[in-house]
Chains A and B, each alone.
Chain A
Amino acid sequence: MAEVIFDHVTRIYPGNDKPSVDDLNLKINDGEFLVLVGPSGCGKSTTLRMLAGLEEVNKGRILIGDKDVTNMQPKDRDIAMVFQNYALYPHMTVADNMGFALKIAGTPKDEIRKRVEEAAKILDLTPFLDRKPKNLSGGQRQRVAMGRAIVRKPKVFLMDEPLSNLDAKLRVQTRTQIAALQRQLGVTTLYVTHDQTEALTMGDRIAVIKLGILQQVGAPTELYDRPANVFVAGFIGSPSMNISTHPVVNGHAQIGDDTIALPEEVVNKLTPEDNSQIVVGFRPEDADLASAEDANAFKLKVVNVEDLGSDGYIYGNIVTDGLAADEGAVMSDQDKMTTVRVNPRALPKVGDVVRIKIDPTKMHLFAPSTENRLN
């Protein structure tokens, strides 16, 4: 049991002038499941490897449960890198497969048996302890490998994209199991992934990192409901948030031919660097079709519709001067279009021009100059 602290931690690779991880301050609470998420090359794996002792720390320090481990060897840190392709040994029983590392460490036999039995109970492997791997299902084999990490009772679990080498079926199943297991064991965990869905579904808290700089840390709903900047807004959530930059005219955002009202205190926060522009973001589920009379709505030409039964989605382009933008390029990049979730029983048709109204309480507003949140 331990908390983990990154205290002004920087990692610069030899020969690079830009840090891969820059002045990171992050606290993982005792027993917490923290997911570090970001695109490829953002520094998330480097961060995990610094905690593991695989990467040097150029500036700052790392603490595990009050102990400064910055210059400690990996094996002395009391951490477990889970799922490093644990092999199952065919001639050893499930119990021996789980406990052999303790035997090497000289743990007394009774203690090994006790810990193995505890782990087996959590993993529901108790009836199989004396079986050989051959007589187990694939899922059970996978859990024996987890058991091998659990019995060590490390202070911290480190997981670097642990699901990446599993097939799709096993991945979803294992995702649920890891999250449930971590909660049962209460071991402080740092989990690294590029997949925001994994982050949202598994973490107690999520830390989003980009180009070596921590963007935001918070509970999944916090990040989803109040992203601190444009990057987090676009990265978290699927389908992703609609984000676009618009001129600000008389306290309104000019969206194509239409305008929508902006809160006064937000407009007041804009600076000359923002050039009278504002970044408006809204999630597909936070807007709806509006009638012709509705104020604060904008026109969208529908390019594609999807009926998923429970939900309907429309994809379209904002109408300016009576014309929809980028008509030629539309099909190639649905991401650039505005996406709105609508009632599947009242789906507009492709080619329709509809009016869209954003729920004003669910609008995300950012300054173009800093990309930081304004509301």
Chain B
Amino acid sequence: MERIEIDPRLTQATSVNVNNVNGYASLAGAGPVSASTNESPKALRITAASSNPKMFTLPWHEPLSTWPDDLLANLPRGISRHVVRFVRVGNEVYAMKEITQSVAEREYELLRQLEKIDVPSVKPIAVVTGRHTKDGEPLEAMLVTQHLKFSLPYRALFARNLREDTADRLIDALAVLLVRLHLVGFYWGDVSLSNVLFLRDADSFAAVLVDAETGELYPTLTNGQREYDIDLARTNIIGELMDLSSGKLLPDQVDEVEVGNRLVDRYHSLWSALTDVESFSPDEMWKIEKRVNMLNDLGFDVDELEMNTDEDGNRVRVRPRVVDAGYASRKLLRLTGLDVQENQARRLLNDLDAYRASTWRQGEDLEIVATDWMREVFEPTVRMIPAEYRSQIEPAQFFHEVLTHRWYLAEQVGHDVPMAQAVASYIENALPQYKIDSKVMEAINEDADSGVVDDESTYDDDDYNPEDDPDAAVWSH
């Protein structure tokens, strides 16, 4: 795979060359450092960005599919061609994927690059190479990433009989992610619902990239690269929804092709809002402000505007530059230190505004009001999340849902409901939907394994050996 040029943003980054072991804590007492990435080290080698000594205690000499249950975290997995497991390592949960060494090293490097330029992607932890069974048989390398807390694969969301518009909301999140990736010059090459994880974001979702196997980072993308990603996304989404439909997991009224087309439409309208050049006459400069406000409403920050005048000076051409998502979430982070998704941030900021108004403090600094709001409103509410749900729902999402629940309660009874009462009612009536039934979980993970092409233990026939596959031999002659 060629790397044509280095993105200038990455020159600020610390070493991302996997071969350059000096740039990392090389945890293991490793074998010789191989000159070629294709050469497998003879002894186990763990290349990691940060050290977690518990990594040494894992059974690297066993195929991942046979790791004992007590090491695994029972979380829903997405469909993959490779064996993937969630593994508890100390206090952390890591996603481990068994793939070839060159692909693991490449993906690790790419995820590290994405991390530096701050796009929503999973955090890479390590590449483990030089694995062997106790008999000395070589095993595939592993890519280790951090499990994203509170995130879910799309199949788990559909397994819960959520709202009819779930598919639409997931697509909207994927479109935003794709636009953000394309803005930073990331060509994905394999866009699908399966290759992202979803986080709840108030009434919407936020999507996070989890699979960068085919991705590549460029200074800018060509239209062909963007169009290819979009077309592939459309095909894959429709396929994934048709699959859900075959499994009776999709509401009947959802039209798969329409949902796929929605991705294309959403992508294009967002891309054009963010990148189109607009032309104004010099006395229409207010339109620039309008454009900036619109981008802010879409959740994007405008750092710079590129302005050119036509030769005759009659028109000004304006194009927003350096746009990034997270306008509201950055504002909330600055005010409260809370790091949450964009729509959650909006909801929280609205509540903060309401608090400010109801306490007659419009004249005061927002920073000071925000501190009091945290202490008096936000924290007491989220402290009430029952312990058993703390790993299932983010505090900001809980707060958002309680606010919504409170509004409905108030509507029912015809007057305001105190926060404590709303929280109690929410916990009793709404929160249980966050638990995934163990049977459902089992079904999801069985589905996830049924597309694996390179692990014998997931095949139907336990004795299967590709070398002996008679039909493979027949058709290849």
**Smallest Cβ distance from A125 to chain B, in angstroms?**
8
Q: Which residues of A contact B4 (CB under 8 A)?
A: 13, 16, 20, 41, 46
Q: Are B475 and A87 in contact (CB under 8 A)?
A: no
Q: Does B243 have its Cβ within 8 Å of any Cβ on chain A? A: yes
Q: Are A167 and B140 in contact (CB under 8 A)?
A: yes
Q: Are B189 and A84 in contact (CB under 8 A)?
A: yes
**Smallest Cβ distance from A87 to chain B, in angstroms?**
5
Give per-residue flags for B465-477: 1 if the beta carbon is below 8 A from chain A beta carbons, else 0.
0110101101111
Q: Are B459 and A138 in contact (CB under 8 A)?
A: yes
Interface residues of B in 139-181 (CB under 8 A from A): 140
Q: Which residues of B contact A16 (CB under 8 A)?
A: 4-5
Q: Which residues of B contact A85 (CB under 8 A)?
A: 81, 190, 213-214
Q: Give the docked Cα–Cα distance between A75 and B474 (Å).
A: 34
**Smallest Cβ distance from A252 to chain B, in angstroms?**
38
Q: Are A164 and B81 in contact (CB under 8 A)?
A: no
**Smallest Cβ distance from B251 to chain A, in angstroms?**
15
**Smallest Cβ distance from B280 to chain A, in angstroms?**
28
Given contacts A89-B243, A164-B103, are A135 and B460 in contact (CB under 8 A)? yes
Q: Are A54 and B456 in contact (CB under 8 A)?
A: no
Identify A73's interface contact among B189, B224, B446, CB under 8 A. B224
Q: Are A87 and B224 in contact (CB under 8 A)?
A: no
Q: Give the docked Cα–Cα distance between A367 and B411 (Å).
A: 90
Q: Which residues of B contact A84 (CB under 8 A)?
A: 189-190, 214, 232
Give per-residue flags for A88-112: 1 if the beta carbon is below 8 A from chain B beta carbons, else 0.
1111100010001101100000000
Q: Give the docked Cα–Cα distance between A92 and B4 (Å).
A: 40
Q: Which residues of A contact B466 (CB under 8 A)?
A: 137-139, 169-170, 173
Q: Give the docked Cα–Cα distance between A73 and B2 (Å).
A: 23
Q: Which residues of B contact A20 (CB under 8 A)?
A: 4
Q: Does B452 have its Cβ within 8 Å of any Cβ on chain A? A: yes
**Smallest Cβ distance from A169 to chain B, in angstroms?**
6
**Smallest Cβ distance from A28 to chain B, in angstroms?**
20
Given contacts A84-B214, A137-B466, A139-B466, are A104 and B194 in contact (CB under 8 A)? no
**Smallest Cβ distance from A217 to chain B, in angstroms?**
20
**Smallest Cβ distance from A176 to chain B, in angstroms?**
5
Give per-residue flags for B110-149: 1 if the beta carbon is below 8 A from chain A beta carbons, else 0.
0000000000000000000000000000101000000000
Q: Which residues of A contact B232 (CB under 8 A)?
A: 84
Q: Are B224 and A56 in contact (CB under 8 A)?
A: yes
Instruction: Using C-beta atoms within 8 Å of the partner chain, give the interface range for chain A.
Output: 35 or more
Q: Give the docked Cα–Cα distance between A41 and B455 (Å).
A: 32
Q: Does B242 have its Cβ within 8 Å of any Cβ on chain A? A: yes
Q: Which segment of B233-241, B380-388, B423-431 sits at the interface?
A: B233-241
Given contacts A15-B219, A85-B214, are A176 and B460 in contact (CB under 8 A)? no
Smallest Cβ-Cβ distance to B190: which chain A residue = A85
Give per-residue flags for B211-241: 1 if the beta carbon is below 8 A from chain A beta carbons, else 0.
0011000011011110110011001101110
Q: Does B440 have its Cβ within 8 Å of any Cβ on chain A? A: no
Q: Are B103 and A92 in contact (CB under 8 A)?
A: no
Q: Are B469 and A139 in contact (CB under 8 A)?
A: yes
Q: Are A54 and B228 in contact (CB under 8 A)?
A: yes
Identify B451's interface contact among A15, A43, A101, A133, CB under 8 A. A133
Q: Which residues of A contact B239 (CB under 8 A)?
A: 87, 89, 100-101, 104
Q: Give the docked Cα–Cα distance between A143 and B453 (Å).
A: 10
Q: Does B100 have its Cβ within 8 Å of any Cβ on chain A? A: yes
Q: Are A134 and B228 in contact (CB under 8 A)?
A: no
Q: Are B476 and A180 in contact (CB under 8 A)?
A: yes
Q: Does A45 have its Cβ within 8 Å of any Cβ on chain B? A: yes
Q: Does A14 have its Cβ within 8 Å of any Cβ on chain B? A: yes
Q: Which residues of A contact B235 (CB under 8 A)?
A: 101, 104
Q: Are B451 and A104 in contact (CB under 8 A)?
A: no
Q: Give the docked Cα–Cα distance between A180 and B214 (Å).
A: 26
**Smallest Cβ distance from B171 to chain A, in angstroms?**
15
Q: Does B408 have its Cβ within 8 Å of any Cβ on chain A? A: no
**Smallest Cβ distance from B1 to chain A, in angstroms?**
7
Q: Are B81 and A87 in contact (CB under 8 A)?
A: yes
Q: Which residues of B contact A86 (CB under 8 A)?
A: 81
Smallest Cβ-Cβ distance to B455: which chain A residue = A138
Interface residues of B in 57-93 (CB under 8 A from A): 79-82
Q: Give the docked Cα–Cα distance between A170 and B456 (Å).
A: 11
Q: Which residues of A contact B447 (CB under 8 A)?
A: 90-91
Q: Which residues of A contact B471 (CB under 8 A)?
A: 124, 140
**Smallest Cβ distance from B247 to chain A, in angstroms?**
3
Q: Are A40 and B247 in contact (CB under 8 A)?
A: no
Q: Which residues of B contact A166 (CB under 8 A)?
A: 100, 453-454
Q: Give the docked Cα–Cα distance between A347 and B309 (Å).
A: 81
Q: Are B451 and A141 in contact (CB under 8 A)?
A: yes
Q: Give the docked Cα–Cα distance between A373 and B5 (Å).
A: 33
Q: Are B224 and A145 in contact (CB under 8 A)?
A: no
Q: Does B333 have its Cβ within 8 Å of any Cβ on chain A? A: no
Q: Does B244 have its Cβ within 8 Å of any Cβ on chain A? A: yes
Identify B461's interface contact among A14, A137, A161, A168, CB under 8 A. A137
Interface residues of A in 156-201 (CB under 8 A from B): 161, 164-170, 173, 176-177, 180-181
Q: Are A88 and B257 in contact (CB under 8 A)?
A: no
**Smallest Cβ distance from B77 to chain A, in angstroms?**
12
Q: Give the docked Cα–Cα distance between A180 and B474 (Å).
A: 11
**Interface centre among B79, B239, B246, B257, by most A CB within 10 Å?**
B239
Given contacts A54-B187, A170-B453, A176-B476, are A89 and B225 in contact (CB under 8 A)? no
Smallest Cβ-Cβ distance to A121: which chain B residue = B475
A41-B2, A54-B225, A84-B232 given; name 7 further pairs at CB < 8 Å. Answer: A40-B2, A46-B4, A73-B224, A103-B242, A139-B469, A140-B471, A164-B102
**What are 29 contact pairs spanning A and B, CB under 8 A?**
A15-B219, A16-B5, A20-B4, A44-B2, A52-B228, A54-B222, A56-B222, A74-B224, A75-B231, A85-B213, A88-B450, A89-B243, A90-B450, A101-B239, A104-B257, A122-B475, A124-B472, A133-B451, A136-B460, A137-B459, A139-B469, A142-B453, A143-B472, A164-B100, A164-B102, A165-B100, A165-B103, A167-B454, A180-B476
The 8 closest A-B pairs by CB, nearest first: A91-B247, A89-B243, A88-B451, A124-B475, A134-B450, A90-B447, A91-B246, A53-B224
